[in-house]
Structure 1
Amino acid sequence: MENKKEMTALDVSAATDTEQPISKCTDNSISEKAGKINDLETISMTELYDTVYPSKPPLIDGLLYTGTYLFVGAPKLGKSYLMAQLAYHISTGTPLWDYTVRKGTVLYLALEDDYRCLQERLYRMFGTDSTDNLFFSVSADSLGNGLDAQLQRFMQEHTDTSLIIIDTLQKVREVGGDNYSYANDYEIITRLKQFADKYGICILLVHHTRKQTADDKFNMISGTTGLLGAADGAFLLQKEKRTSNAATLEVSGRDQQDQKLYLNRNTETLLWELERTETELWKEPPEPLLEKIAQLLSSGSNEWTGTPTELCSILQLDIQPNALTRKLNINAGRLLNEYKIFYENSRSRSERKVKLSRLEQA
């Protein structure tokens, strides 16, 4: 039998082919209408641990991740300036405030602007410094009426894209129908999230807050709770006084630490500057196993291949080989993001192999 790669970080499926028995039901009206009931796809905890899932590093460490996020605030508050700032820093890879930024191509749909306005705004903010990795459009089709295909074509032409900004969400909503029901709001974000997840990018949706205040400030997002419910997170930009240059930016995400940033807008450049943060970012504690692997590859070759048993021996680990591979499976993303080491495992008829490769530094 040929060696077969299984469960690598590049090509993985969480579903199994095991069929589940379905009990017969006396009321067969559902099956009659649906024609055929598909088996429920499941995965055991063991299979979950034995799988390596693809990992994407943050766009901005501790602040912006892959997925679909809402960026909300009152009208004329400076949201578009902050969007341009995010877009510029990601497209150039330069740090934003105290946050590390990873460079990638950015598409900014500035649907409430024209190109002259964009030119003047960017010049005031960044002078004559420019980048080839930041693209703008002031017109786009709506969801369900061409936008999906437009974004897909852009991704095919710019495969290193990491961020798409849609300013504003209202400009791409489908016309007609029950636009403001929970179900419709949830479906809109879900469709965009499916696109973001498919390509491993971030989609940032600029949106407005409602006038009414709320105990939970994120309940001030205009529309139903379906918008936030389907999104991976949200940013909320607020001023205590509209005439003030000071503002707060609150961040809440599905898999990230809630934060509150105090910003001040530079009156000359109109750039948002960080004054302080309310809480210090939590940092994941060091993992001794990953540290040892990094030392192994830094002491000689940039690649190591062997069995889990051999890796346990060379690293002098007092754990079972199968426990080692599971720890590596679960921490493969962290090993790649923090140490630039790519991990994969494969199995032949006789044994399992582990391969560790240090990526070339850019």
Structure 2
Amino acid sequence: MPHTDGSAQLTSALDAASRGWHVFPLIPGDKRPALTDWEPRATTDPDRITAAWSAGAFNLGIATGPSRLVVIDLDRPKHPEDTPPAHWAEHGVTDGADVLALLCDRHRQPFPADTYTVRAWSGGTHLYFAAPEGEPLRNTAGDSARGLGWKVDTRAVGGLVVGAGSTFNGHPYEVTHDAPAAPLPGWLAGLLRPAPLPPQKPIRVALSGRGRRTAFLRCAVNGEVERVTGSGEDQHNNALYIASVALGQLVAGGELAEADVTGWLLTAALQVGQGEREACRTIASGLRAPGRGAPAADGRGMSANPIPPLHLYSVPSDPASAPAPPKRERPRTAWTADQLMAADFPEPKWAVPGILAEGVSLLAGPPKVGKSWLSLGLALAVAAGGQAFDSVPVQGGPVLYLALEDTPRRLQTRMGKLLGSQQAPAGLTLVTECPPFPQGGTEAIAQWLDRNPDARMVVIDGFAKMRGQAPQGVSAYDADYVSVGYAKRLADHYGIAVVLVHHVRKAGSDDFLTEVSGNNGIAGAADATLVLKRARGQADGILHLTGRDVDEAEYALSFQPASGAWHLLDGPVSDHTVGDTRATILRYVRAHPGSKPKDMAGELSHVDIDTIRRTCARMAEAGQLTKDAGGRYYPDTDTRTHGTPEVSELSDCPVTPPDQHERPGQSKTELSGLSGPIDGERTAR
């Protein structure tokens, strides 16, 4: 069982540091880092280690790269169907230890057991070795190109292992052989080192034909080939997969042949040292990624599933062969007064009930306040059909997230923290590059929406990158209004929520609307404006909200650094932005209107009656309470609506809006688990 005071984990961390191993805290009882940038922050400093583990019973993470370690992880099958491939099974292999023993026999070497050894929670084994000099070794996984074999992973530069003294699923990591880490045997180092690459030659794909369409295809193919050939040493496979998924869009649309794409990408993969079998498997996986769909009977159909088109490819088709886009009824724009009063309009569609309705919502805030964490968390919740802010139920549907100021690695890290152990929703499409609205961005987003008719939300996280150049000869107000107008037309035509993530001015203001960067044209064109501001007291942020279909309100939020999630706090904002004494008085007076200071003394037993009187008087002066002639205090106003269970506390909209219906098999996952930025291929489990 874990020691809840962290003493045992601290002892293990100090022991590891004394061996020269760089350590950092993992989430208690878990295998994920409790902090971001864990590798550069890993340390051998006893004072820093003591301070960290004195704060809680954190599991122990060891950064293998800075520690100059190579750890061989001998795993065991996780379930009865987890059986070895035929080429291992024919030798009687049942787990990772058997694979390593077989390799030792083949190379006429003894089993390398005389080294520091840890038994993992699952019964597997971690063998610790000192890394060899020369070219650093990288992580490997199973039967990959440089891997040792089935159920055998290695952790070196860029990896981490869970150290002894940690627990997972109630089972401990225990030292079974307390010896110094032996040097990695030379024959194993030789197996783990990549083969020398052949001479590099630029790969250029020539496509026959003329015109804009052919030029676009040629640019797209060569761009993805260069993605693979230009990838870093430990990013080849990831780059190959991304390129395969991206070009898979063009295969699914009948623009390219699957055999051609496979050949081009395989040539690029072999040039950077990928194994042919592994590369073919990665390419096939990318081309058939979930949601990509197969060509229809006419060879040109694109699946309506929420496939992530990595660049929102908008292939210009020949006019004669272009498939007709789905027809959408043009909304009526004129009525007589009696017709308008007799018309029956549907309720607004809500992406997040009470907060994000159909139309354009502007989410603004100062730099580094957490806007991107908030918007990505909302996108994950809506795509999965979970709970926004860990408390607001939302119905699921495809979501497009344009992360124009992020890299794929940063997105992966953030999603890893937000998702925790939950599965990533296939309905969320993430894109890091898109042309500005006037230069084709509007068309690219519209085509994604055509392919995903059930889409509920589009998030544009860096709105400034989508605005494009202002039209010549127009005022700044008109230019800002026009830039939001592109998004407004998309939102109105498709009936979805479009969220524009933007900045605020450096100068503060009593009116949160005037803080939006730019002039009033941006906020004026948007249907709703949300401003996230830092707060004092128990709250980490205050979300100010106003709009055409939402009530003006403000909500107190708390930020969970370990999971990257923003949580909605119960009660009025004032309860969370004042000191503990004032917050207690507010809650008491709200529950007992007309109370006097002496009535509150029982609730504030640690505060003397004179302090309570002075605090109440100051709160009345500040407008937080009202006082009658008899010295009784009353709450000022209630900032939250307390309705029936069928009404959201956020507004008068139903918890489940009328347009949102339960979808078969829809996930009810809550996206608020604690986790850290690490993927499965980098952690020894």
TM-score, normalised by the number of residues in structure 2: 0.36
User: Shift of residue 12 of structure 1?
Assistant: 8.0
SS, match of residue 190 in structure 1: helix
2:503 equivalent in structure 1: 208
- Aligned counterpart in structure 2 of residue 230 of structure 1, from 525, 531, 551: 525
- Aligned counterpart in structure 2 of residue 143 of structure 1, from 417, 428, 437: 437
The alignment status of 1:121 with 2:414, answered yes or no, reads yes
The alignment status of 1:74 with 2:362, answered yes or no, reads no
- Structure 1 Cα separation of the partners of residues 397 and 415 of structure 2: 19
- Aligned counterpart in structure 1 of residue 640 of structure 2, from 280, 296, 302: 280
User: Shift of residue 218 of structure 1?
Assistant: 1.5
The 8 Å contact of residues 260 and 277 in structure 1, kept in 2 or not, is answered as no
SS, match of residue 83 in structure 1: helix
User: Shift of residue 49 of structure 1?
Assistant: 2.9
The 8 Å contact of residues 471 and 479 in structure 2, kept in 1 or not, is answered as no
The alignment status of 1:195 with 2:555, answered yes or no, reads no
- Structure 2 Cα separation of the partners of residues 203 and 338 of structure 1: 19
The alignment status of 1:65 with 2:360, answered yes or no, reads no
- Aligned counterpart in structure 2 of residue 163 of structure 1, from 435, 457, 467: 457
The alignment status of 1:52 with 2:370, answered yes or no, reads no
User: Shift of residue 51 of structure 1?
Assistant: 2.6
The 8 Å contact of residues 245 and 266 in structure 1, kept in 2 or not, is answered as no
The 8 Å contact of residues 166 and 204 in structure 1, kept in 2 or not, is answered as yes
User: Shift of residue 180 of structure 1?
Assistant: 7.4
User: Shift of residue 13 of structure 1?
Assistant: 5.4
Deviation string, structure 1 residues 51-101 (Cα, Å, up to 9, x no partner): 333444311221110000100000111110111110011011112233221
The alignment status of 1:111 with 2:387, answered yes or no, reads no
> What amino acid sits opposite 1:137 in the alignment?
V
> What amino acid sits opposite 1:202 in the alignment?
A
- The CA RMSD over aligned residues, in Å, is 3.0
> What amino acid sits opposite 1:276 in the alignment?
D
> What amino acid sits opposite 1:171 in the alignment?
K
User: Shift of residue 236 of structure 1?
Assistant: 0.6
Could you say which structure has the greater relative contact order, defined with CA pairs below 8 angstroms and 6 or more residues apart? 1
Deviation string, structure 1 residues 277-317 (Cα, Å, up to 9, x no partner): 4222376999xxxxxxxxxxxxxxxxxxxxxxxxxxxxxxx
2:84 equivalent in structure 1: none
2:534 equivalent in structure 1: 239
The 8 Å contact of residues 62 and 99 in structure 1, kept in 2 or not, is answered as no
SS, match of residue 569 in structure 2: strand
> What amino acid sits opposite 2:497 in the alignment?
C
1:98 equivalent in structure 2: 391
User: Shift of residue 171 of structure 1?
Assistant: 0.8
- Structure 2 Cα separation of the partners of residues 238 and 221 of structure 1: 12
SS, match of residue 81 in structure 1: helix
User: Shift of residue 267 of structure 1?
Assistant: 2.3
User: Shift of residue 181 of structure 1?
Assistant: 0.2
- Aligned counterpart in structure 2 of residue 134 of structure 1, from 404, 407, 428: 428
User: Shift of residue 47 of structure 1?
Assistant: 1.0
- Structure 1 Cα separation of the partners of residues 645 and 368 of structure 2: 41
> What amino acid sits opposite 2:514 in the alignment?
N
- Structure 2 Cα separation of the partners of residues 337 and 273 of structure 1: 22
Change (3 A) 1:11 1:52: farther
The 8 Å contact of residues 12 and 53 in structure 1, kept in 2 or not, is answered as no
Change (3 A) 1:282 1:203: farther
TM-score, normalised by the number of residues in structure 1: 0.65
The 8 Å contact of residues 90 and 106 in structure 1, kept in 2 or not, is answered as yes
The 8 Å contact of residues 351 and 357 in structure 2, kept in 1 or not, is answered as yes
Unaligned runs of 5+ in 1: 1-9, 16-41, 287-332, 341-358
Deviation string, structure 1 residues 298-355 (Cα, Å, up to 9, x no partner): xxxxxxxxxxxxxxxxxxxxxxxxxxxxxxxxxxx99x94599xxxxxxxxxxxxxxx
SS, match of residue 557 in structure 2: strand
- Structure 2 Cα separation of the partners of residues 180 and 140 of structure 1: 26
User: Shift of residue 200 of structure 1?
Assistant: 0.2
User: Shift of residue 361 of structure 1?
Assistant: 7.9
The alignment status of 1:173 with 2:533, answered yes or no, reads no
SS, match of residue 417 in structure 2: helix
Aligned length: 261
Change (3 A) 1:173 1:284: farther
User: Shift of residue 161 of structure 1?
Assistant: 0.9
1:253 equivalent in structure 2: 547
User: Shift of residue 215 of structure 1?
Assistant: 2.1
Change (3 A) 1:125 1:100: closer
The 8 Å contact of residues 257 and 282 in structure 1, kept in 2 or not, is answered as no
- Structure 1 Cα separation of the partners of residues 455 and 505 of structure 2: 32
SS, match of residue 256 in structure 1: coil
- Structure 2 Cα separation of the partners of residues 106 and 187 of structure 1: 24
User: Shift of residue 127 of structure 1?
Assistant: 2.1
SS, match of residue 483 in structure 2: helix
Deviation string, structure 1 residues 189-212 (Cα, Å, up to 9, x no partner): 122111100000011000000111
SS, match of residue 53 in structure 1: coil
The alignment status of 1:186 with 2:481, answered yes or no, reads yes
User: Shift of residue 123 of structure 1?
Assistant: 0.5
2:557 equivalent in structure 1: 263
